[in-house]
C-alpha cells in the first residue's frame, strides 16, 4: 500500500511518506533535482518562483526546531506561502481530533501538509484522509519513517563518495526507536550500497532487524572496521530509565564515537549525525567538530533536498539554474 498511496498512476510522487516502495530511479531523481537546487541558497536572491501561489502548512505535532526550520526555508525559497503550526501546544490539546484539525486546514485551501507526529503511521493516515489535491510530506512519524532526512543523508553521501555501489555504511546507536535509521536502511539498500551494518546492544535493535537487510553487530571495533560512512544516531536520555541501557557513560565507552574508534574506519570515512547531537554521549566533540564530520553539511543539504521533494510532489519536475 505504501507503494501505491504515495505515487500517482504515472509513477510520480504524490506524497512522500516513506522510502519503502520507491525505486532507485526515483530516489536518484530526487538527488539530481536537489543538486539543481543546491545553488539557490548561494544566490543573492535566494528564491525561485516554482511554488508561487501554493500554500504549505507545516503541521508539527511533535516539537522540532531544525526540521521545521529547513522545511520553512525550503518552502520560502520556492516562493510558497508557509504556515507553521505547532499543534503539540494548540488544537489537539483542546481535544480536537487529528482528522478535525486536518479538515479545518483543508477548508483554508492549502496545497501541502508537512507532518511530524509522535505515532508511527500518522502521515499515512493523514494522506489517506486528506482531500485529493493535497500532498503530504512525512517529516517524521513515531518510530516509522523520516524519509526527507534519509534523502538528505543520501545526498550528502553522494556528495562525498560520488556513488553508492561498493560502499560500506555503519549506523550506530538507538536503531530500535529511530525512524531515521529505518528510512536510511531502506534508501541505502535501494541505492545499492554493498553493506549496511547496524551497531548497538540488542536492547536498542529491532527484534527482526536482519529482515531489514542489515548486518547487526554488537561491537564497535568489528562494526567500524573498513567502513566508508559512519552514521551516529541520537540517544534519548529517557532510555536510561527503562532498562535499555545501564548508563550514559557505559554507552559512550562501548558505542560512543571517539577518534580512536573512528580510526578503525577507512581513512576517508565521513561521520554523519541527523542531529541534534549529544556531545559525550554518542559522539565526542573532537569527532563532531573534526575534519571527517559532515554534520553541518547535512543541515545545509536538507534545504535543497526538501525543495526537490516539495516541487516533485506538487507536480513540478526539475529545478532551476
Judged by the rule CB under 8 A, the positions of this chain that interact with other proteins are 1-2, 20, 97-99, 117, 119-122, 124-125, 129, 141-145, 179, 182, 206-209, 211-212
Rounded to the nearest whole angstrom, what is the least distance from the CB of residue 94 to other proteins in the complex? 17
Q: Which of 68, 146, 177, 182 is catalytic?
A: 146
For residues 224 and 269, what is the distance between their CA atoms, to the nearest angstrom? 10
Nearer to other proteins, 34 or 188 (CB): 188
60 SS3 class: strand
CA proximity to 310, closest of 139, 83, 126, 74: 74
Q: How far is the CB of 13 from other proteins (least distance, A)?
A: 18
**DSSP assignment of 74-139, as one string?**
HHHHTT-EEEEEEGGGSGGGGT--HHHHHHHHHTT--SEEEEEESSTTHHHHHHHHS-TT-EEEEE
CA 40 to chain centre: 21
Grid cell listed for 117: 507526529
Determine which one of 10, 94, 162, 208 is catalytic: 94
- Based on CB atoms, which residue is closest to other proteins, 183 or 313? 183
Q: Which of 15, 33, 54, 67 is catalytic?
A: 67
Q: Is the dihedral of CA 91, 96, 99, 103 positive or negative?
A: negative
Q: Which is nearer to other proteins, 30 or 209 (CB)?
A: 209
Closest to other proteins by CB, 233 or 314: 233
Write down the catalytic residue from 3, 66, 103, 210.
66
Give me the least distance between CB of 140 and other proteins, in Å please. Answer: 11
Instruction: Tell me the C-alpha distance between 173 and 248, whole Å.
Output: 12
Is 116 known to be catalytic?
A: yes
Q: Tell me which of 68, 116, 161, 261 is the catalytic residue.
A: 116
Nearer to other proteins, 211 or 317 (CB): 211
Active site residue 162: no
Catalytic (active site) residue 146: yes
> What is the β-pairing status of strands 135-141 and 195-199?
unpaired
Nearer CB in complex with other proteins: 117/161: 117
Q: What is the DSSP string of 169-213?
A: EEEES--TT-HHHHHHHHHHHHHT-SEEEEES-GGGS-TTGGGGT
Q: CB of 320: closest distance to other proteins in angstroms?
A: 35
**Nearest approach, Cβ of residue 174 and other proteins (Å):** 12
Q: Find the shortest distance in angstroms from Cβ 182 to other proteins.
A: 6
Distance of alpha carbon 316 from alpha carbon 155, whole angstroms:
20
54 noted as active-site residue: no
| Cis amide leading into 276 (omega within 30) | yes
Burial classification of residue 94, based on how many CB atoms lie within 10 Å of its CB (0-12 exposed, 13-18 middle, 19 or more buried) = exposed
66 is catalytic: yes
- What region, left, alpha or beta, does residue 268 occupy, with left being phi > 0 and alpha being psi -120 to 50 degrees? alpha
Active site residue ranges:
66-67, 94, 116, 146
Amino acid at each position: 500500500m505504501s507503494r501505491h498511496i504515495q505515487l500517482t498512476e504515472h509513477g510520480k510522487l504524490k506524497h512522500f511518506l516513506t522510502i519503502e516502495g520507491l525505486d532507485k530511479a526515483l530516489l536518484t531523481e530526487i538527488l539530481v533535482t536537489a543538486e539543481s537546487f543546491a545553488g539557490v541558497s548561494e544566490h543573492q536572491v535566494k528564491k525561485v518562483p516554482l511554488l508561487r501561489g501554493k500554500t504549505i502548512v507545516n503541521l508539527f505535532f511533535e516539537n522540532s526546531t531544525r526540521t521545521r526550520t529547513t522545511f520553512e526555508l525550503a518552502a520560502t525559497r520556492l516562493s510558497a506561502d508557509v504556515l507553521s503550526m505547532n499543534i503539540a501546544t494548540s488544537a489537539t490539546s483542546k481535544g480536537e481530533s487529528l482528522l478535525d484539525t486536518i479538515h479545518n486546514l483543508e477548508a483554508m485551501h492549502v496545497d501541502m501538509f508537512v507532518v511530524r507526529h509522535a505515532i508511527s503511521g500518522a502521515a499515512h493516515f493523514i494522506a489517506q484522509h486528506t482531500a485529493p489535491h493535497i500532498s503530504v510530506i512525512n517529516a517524521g512519524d513515531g518510530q516509522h519513517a523520516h524519509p526527507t532526512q534519509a534523502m538528505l543523508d543520501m545526498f550528502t553521501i553522494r556528495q562525498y563518495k560520488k556513488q553508492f555501489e561498493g560502499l560500506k555504511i555503519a549506523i550506530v546507536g538507538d536503531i530500535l526507536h529511530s525512524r531515521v535509521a529505518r528510512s536510511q536502511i531502506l534508501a541505502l539498500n535501494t541505492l545499492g550500497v554493498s553493506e549496511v551494518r547496524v551497531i548497538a546492544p540488542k536492547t536498542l535493535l529491532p527484534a527482526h532487524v536482519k529482515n531489514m537487510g542489515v548486518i547487526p553487530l554488537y561491537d564497535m571495533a568489528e562494526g567500524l572496521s573498513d567502513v566508508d560512512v559512519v552514521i551516529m544516531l541520537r540517544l534519548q536520555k529517557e532510555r536510561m530509565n527503562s532498562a535499555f541501557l545501564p548508563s550514559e557513560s557505559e554507552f559512550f565507552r562501548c558505542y560512543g564515537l571517539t577518534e580512536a574508534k573512528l580510526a578503525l574506519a577507512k581513512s576517508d570515512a565521513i561521520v554523519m549525525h541527523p542531529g541534534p547531537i549529544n556531545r559525550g554521549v554518542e559522539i565526542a566533540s573532537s569527532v563532531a567538530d573534526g575534519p571527517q564530520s559532515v554534520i553541518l553539511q547535512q543541515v545545509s543539504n536538507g534545504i535543497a533536498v526538501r525543495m526537490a521533494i516539495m516541487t516533485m510532489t506538487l507536480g513540478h519536475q526539475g529545478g532551476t539554474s
